[in-house]
Amino acid sequence: MFELCIFDLDNTLIHTDDLKEIRESLANNDDEGILDDLSEALEEDVDRIIYSQDLIQEIISRHPNIFLIIFTRSPRSYTEAVLAWAYPDIEWDMLVCYEDVRPTKPYGKGIHYAMKEFDIDDLERVIMIGDTDVDIKAAYNAGCFAVLDKSGWPYKYAQGHWNALGLIPDAIINSPEIILDVLDEPCKFLPSLECLLSSDYIISKRFDKLNHFIPKAIGGDTTTFPIYSAGRNFSNYESLSYKRYEHSLTNSIENNKSSTNFPAQWISSLREFLRTECAGFFGATTTIITCVPHRPGRVPRLEHLLNQLMISLANDPIEHCNVILVPDLLAYRDGVRSQHGEHLSHGDRFMNVRDHLITGNVSKLALADKVLVVDDVVTTGASLIYASKYLKDAGARNVILFALAKNISDILR
């Protein structure tokens, strides 16, 4: 499938945090003395290599027609020296280094530069593997398949690591050898709903869980509100135009923004989430399912989605998972504003929901072990956060928050 396999260098292929000063001193520079210092420093860490030479050779053996590229923000002299030390028997097809493209990561220009060099114009044939958010942003900006490899991550994550997870890459791996499976069958690494929309026979159980917070500016603290998602919705920004184009879930959400009958894949993904997060291990558990409510006067889209789900569950129950639909558990007061339509700011979105969301029919909460609240697209998380907060205040024991898609906003802002 892939014709161009692009690797980040630092902390993806090789641990290099200790080489930062040397790396920076080699920008537009090939001073022999500094390169000698680099050679000595490379030898000081016996566990420096993350991707072994044998693994790179295995990629070449399995995919003899694939081009292997390095795309790095490091200088060329540094890059060549590090690669020669770590992979003496590997002949890389191209190096795209600090001096070669402007702007460099997080822009995707270096990826398009490599594609042009090898006359590849199909972005589905290109894969980028990296360890931080700048790598994922570059892949998104270019429009290719993005792999986040956590193999080289430290015990304590840096902000670039958390940001990378928040971007929900196409694939997330935690061992270098898994890249062989990604290259063979990338679809199965996608989030659940994207996989279902992209394949008729592969099932993914991947649901990304990201912590959200109430902004401190309106009284929030460090309390986390985990929200699961089954995929991504790419916003209509220029920085995402290549990635958004023909993206299965983004298009599916756009095509169903006024629907009352939804694709079977949406139901299948919801069922898989219920099976994964709500079914009991040894006996049945009871889950109330509800949704972020519609604004007064609007079509109750999500309520229709849950009705469709309940029909599916009646026809084909999930073992050890009793589900009760309570569509009126949440509602909005009159006066609630449109979060998206009125282009509310981050803080205004939270205040809008905080001041207008209410609970109802809360006596039903005593019937359930868990409450699952469903939304279509999560952006700030305000609606789901206050749904959780108010339901717990009303007596819910365990509230689980779920969105069909996590919104991915302007990556170059």
Query: So what's the pLDDT on residue 342?
Result: 75
Alpha helices in 63-177 (DSSP H): 76-86, 109-117, 133-142, 159-166
Lowest mean pLDDT, pick from 114-123, 163-172, 294-303 = 294-303
Share of the chain above pLDDT 90, in %: 90
> Nearest to residue 72, comparing CAs of 118, 122, 26, 120?
26
pTM: 0.95
Query: So what's the pLDDT on residue 29?
Result: 79
Which DSSP letter does residue 106 get? T
**CATH class for the region spanning 209-408:** alpha beta
pLDDT tens column, 256-295: 999 999 999 999 999 999 999 999 988 899 999 999 999 8
Query: So what's the pLDDT on residue 326?
Result: 97
Long-range contacts of range 75-80, CB-CB < 8 Å, 24 or more positions apart?
75/23, 75/26, 75/27, 75/28, 75/29, 75/99, 76/100, 77/26, 77/29, 77/30, 77/35, 78/19, 78/22, 78/23, 78/26, 78/38, 79/9
Which DSSP letter does residue 153 get? -
Confidence of residue 322 (pLDDT cuts 50, 70, 90): very high
Query: So what's the pLDDT on residue 187?
Result: 95
Q: How many residues does the chain have?
A: 413
Exposure class string for 3-24: b at 16+ Cβ within 10 A, else e: bbbbbbbbbbbbbbeebeebbe
Is a pLDDT exceeding 80 seen at residue 202?
no
pLDDT tens column, 333-374: 999 888 777 778 888 999 999 999 999 999 999 999 999 999
Mean pLDDT score of the chain: 95
Query: So what's the pLDDT on residue 203?
Result: 82
H or E segment at 332?
strand 330-332
Share of the chain above pLDDT 70, in %: 100
Q: Any bridge partners for residue 96, and if so which?
A: 71
Query: So what's the pLDDT on residue 292?
Result: 97
Half-sphere exposure of 277 (CA within 13 A, CB side): 28
Query: So what's the pLDDT on residue 53?
Result: 98
If 0-12 CB within 10 Å is exposed, 13-18 middle and 19+ buried, where does residue 167 land? buried
End-to-end alpha-carbon separation of the chain, Å?
32
Judge contact between 404 and 266, C-beta under 8 A. Answer: yes
pLDDT tens column, 122-133: 999 999 999 999
Rg (CA), the chain: 24
Query: So what's the pLDDT on residue 344?
Result: 83
Confidence of residue 165 (pLDDT cuts 50, 70, 90): very high
**Phi/psi of residue 90, nearest 5 degrees:** -100, 130
CA-CA distance, 384 to 380, in Å (whole number)? 9
Domain boundaries 4-189, corresponding CATH code: 3.40.50.1000
Q: For residue 384, how many other CB atoms are within 10 A of its CB?
A: 26
pLDDT tens column, 379-391: 999 999 999 999 9
pLDDT tens column, 8-44: 999 999 999 999 999 999 888 788 899 999 999 999 9
Alpha helices in 215-338 (DSSP H): 241-244, 248-255, 264-277, 301-315
Is a pLDDT exceeding 80 seen at residue 200?
no
348 alpha carbon, distance to own chain's centre: 25
Query: So what's the pLDDT on residue 28?
Result: 82
Query: So what's the pLDDT on residue 295?
Result: 87
Q: Do domains 4-189 and 209-408 have the same CATH topology?
A: yes
In this prediction, residues 77-97 reach a mean pLDDT of: 97
CA-CA distance, 194 to 204, in Å (whole number)? 9
Give me the residue spans of the domains in the chain.
4-189, 209-408
Which DSSP letter does residue 374 get? E
CA-CA distance, 193 to 248, in Å (whole number)? 9
Is a pLDDT exceeding 80 seen at residue 175?
yes
In this prediction, residues 149-178 reach a mean pLDDT of: 98
